[in-house]
Amino acid sequence: SESLLGQKNELLFKFLVIGDFGVGKTSIIKRYAEGTFSSVYKMTIGADFAIKSLMVDENTLVHLQLWDIAGNERFGSLTRVYYKYAVAAAIVFDLSRPETYHSVKKWLSDLRRKVTLQNEEPLPVVILANKGDVNYCNIPNEIVDFCKEQKILNWFITSAKENTNIEAAFECLLQAALHNH
């Protein structure tokens, strides 16, 4: 039946945002879902989520459930629970802390080991090189090859602070989720 808004279809997609502590996962989600940014670091405990709703065509309303998973959860056993029913993921690292890029591989293997789509295909993934506004940033030169080898959809230099490429990154995951739906 048609809702009050008049659209005919309503979809819910669960997206994961993962990566080491302090790389900017909460900030990226806040920027995208609420349009705000704070420079005060408040560590996420466990997991949290936000909803972003958008019309993808005149008949279809999509609710993106953005799961914000605490960086320190990679060392816990709960990620399997948090990953359940996810249809796409963004793996974030911090351009000003190279060690967080090395963790991208660990997050990706944790993800690939624990979750696949219903059709057994791997989850669509993008990599976000965040804090691109910080001027001492170093882009890892093997990232292009890594993305190709690992079938990463795309990678983006992002800034939650300056709102750079955040929408583009989620749009990429949204298109993949719509395609797989």
Q: Would you give the binding string for ligand GTP spanning residues 130-149, x where CB under 6 A is met?
A: xx-xx---------------
- Token pair recorded at residue 114: 């624990």
In the complex with ligand GTP, which residue's Cβ is closer, 133 or 171? 133
In the complex with Mg ion, which residue's Cβ is closer, 68 or 176? 68
Q: Which helix (H) or strand (E) element contains residue 16?
A: strand 9-19
* Residue 103 engages ligand GTP in binding (rule: CB under 6 A): no
The Cα-based distances of 151 to 97, 108, 116, 140 in angstroms read 24, 11, 14, 17
- Token pair recorded at residue 11: 């979809």
- Say whether 170 sits in a helix, a strand or coil: helix
Amino acid at 131: K
When binding is defined by CB under 5 A, the residue of 13, 17, 18, 26 that contacts Mg ion is 26
Partner in contact with 160, chosen from ligand GTP, Mg ion, none, beta carbon below 5 to 8 Å by kind? ligand GTP
Q: Which residues bind ligand GTP (CB under 6 A)?
A: 21-27, 38-39, 41, 43-44, 70-71, 130-131, 133-134, 159-161
